[in-house]
Structure 1
Amino acid sequence: MAKVNVSLDAELVVEVMVLAGIGSPQDAVEAVVRDYIARGHRTETRTDHTDRGLREVDVKPQEPQG
């Protein structure tokens, strides 16, 4: 996998390390990024399921009213 170097504020990285309980700055920031991506995928899965359900309701013919 390709690597990217990013400059971050030291206080920000230290706070991430403390919150994540990880001693390496690289590992701490990587863990946060991976968690962010995983959370996004979980959200997509939940909203996609809801969207599909709503689309199925919209597609069904409605009973004549009156």
Structure 2
Amino acid sequence: MAKVSISLDAELVVEVMVLAGVGSPQDAIEAVVRDYIARGHRTEARTDLKDQNLRDIDVKPQESQG
């Protein structure tokens, strides 16, 4: 896998390390990024399911009103 080097504010990284309970800056930032990506995938899955349910409702024949 390709690696990317970036610069971050030290205070920000230390806070992430403390919150994540990780001793390595690299591991702490990697954990945050992986969590962010996983959260995005969960959100996509929920919204896709909701959209599909709404489509199913629209497809059902409407009862005549009168």
- Using the size of structure 2 for normalisation, the TM-score is 0.94
Instruction: Give the superposed CA RMSD.
Output: 0.7
Q: Deviations over 1:7-51 (max 9, x none)?
A: 111000000000001000000000000001001111111111111
Amino acid at match of 1:36: Y
Q: Secondary structure at the match of 1:57?
A: helix
Aligned position for 1:20:
20
Gaps of 5+ in 1: none
For the pair 1:49 / 2:17, whether they are aligned, the reply is no
Gaps of 5+ in 2: none
- Using the size of structure 1 for normalisation, the TM-score is 0.94
Q: Secondary structure at the match of 1:62?
A: coil
Segment drifting more, 44-53 vs 28-37 = 44-53
Aligned position for 1:8:
8
Alignment size in residue pairs: 66
